[in-house]
Amino acid sequence: MLSQQTIEIVKSTAPLLAQTGPEITTHFYDRMLNRHPELKDIFNMSNQLNHAQHQALFNAVHGYAANIDNLEVLLPVVEKIAQKHTSFNISPDMYAIVGENLLATIDAFFSPGQAVLDAWAEAYGVLADVFIHREKEIYQAQQDSVGGWRGTRTFKVVEKEKRSDVITSFVFAPVDGGPIANFKPGQYLGIHIQSDQFEHQEIRQYSLAAAPSANQYRIAVKREDSGKVSNFLHDEIHVGDSVELTPPCGDFFLDIGSQTPVTLISAGVGLTPMMSMLETLSGKHQAGINWLHAAENGRTHAFSEESTELIGKHRKGERHIWYRTPEAGDLPGEHFDHKGIIDLSSVDHITKDPEQIFYMCGPVGFMQSVAKQLTQAGVSSDRIHYECFGPHKVL
Model pLDDT, residue 46: 58
Query: Do residues 107 and 9 both lie within one domain?
Result: yes
The span from the CA of 366 to the CA of 340, in Å, is 13
Q: What is the pLDDT along the chain (395 residues), one digit of tens a residue?
A: 788 999 999 999 888 888 887 888 889 999 999 999 999 998 775 555 555 666 777 777 878 888 888 877 778 888 999 999 999 999 999 999 999 999 999 999 999 999 999 999 999 998 899 999 999 999 999 999 999 999 999 999 999 999 999 999 999 999 999 999 999 999 999 999 999 999 999 999 999 999 999 999 999 999 999 899 999 999 999 999 999 999 999 999 999 999 999 999 999 999 999 999 999 999 789 999 999 999 999 999 999 999 999 999 898 999 999 999 999 999 999 999 999 999 999 999 999 999 999 999 999 999 999 999 999 999 999 999 999 876 556 55
Query: Do residues 240 and 115 both lie within one domain?
Result: no
Q: Which of 29, 64, 135, 296 is catalytic?
A: 135
Query: Do residues 131 and 199 both lie within one domain?
Result: no
Q: Tell me how many domains the chain contains.
A: 3
Asked which of 91, 114, 144 is the last residue of a domain, the reply is 144
Query: Do residues 205 and 124 both lie within one domain?
Result: no
pTM: predicted TM-score of the whole model, two decimal places: 0.93
Query: Do residues 50 and 27 both lie within one domain?
Result: yes
Q: Which of 208, 200, 203, 195 is nearest to 237 (CA)?
A: 195
188 inside domain = yes
167 inside domain = yes
Residues making up the binding site for NADP(+):
268-273
Query: Do residues 273 and 359 both lie within one domain?
Result: yes
Asked which of 194, 216, 249 is the last residue of a domain, the reply is 249
285 inside domain = yes
Query: Do residues 188 and 316 both lie within one domain?
Result: no
256 inside domain = no
Q: Which residues are within 8 A (CB) of 119 and not within 5 positions of it... i.e. 6 or more apart? A: 5, 6, 9, 10
Q: Which of 95, 139, 217, 386 is catalytic?
A: 95
CATH code (residue 109)? 1.10.490.10
Query: Do residues 133 and 59 both lie within one domain?
Result: yes
135 is catalytic: yes
255 inside domain = no
CATH code (residue 186)? 2.40.30.10
Residues making up the binding site for heme b:
85
Query: Do residues 272 and 358 both lie within one domain?
Result: yes
Residues making up the binding site for FAD:
188, 204-207, 388-391
394 inside domain = no
392 inside domain = no
Asked which of 223, 249, 275 is the last residue of a domain, the reply is 249
Domain that holds residue 65: 4-144
Q: Which residues are within 8 A (CB) of 141 and not within 5 positions of it... i.e. 6 or more apart? A: 148
95 is catalytic: yes
User: Using CA of residue 8, residue 10, residue 16, residue 21, what is the dihedral sign?
Assistant: negative
Residues making up the binding site:
85, 188, 204-207, 268-273, 388-391
Query: Do residues 161 and 52 both lie within one domain?
Result: no
CATH code (residue 335)? 3.40.50.80
User: Using CA of residue 118, residue 72, residue 263, residue 395, what is the dihedral sign?
Assistant: negative
Query: Do residues 349 and 273 both lie within one domain?
Result: yes
Query: Do residues 358 and 313 both lie within one domain?
Result: yes
309 inside domain = yes
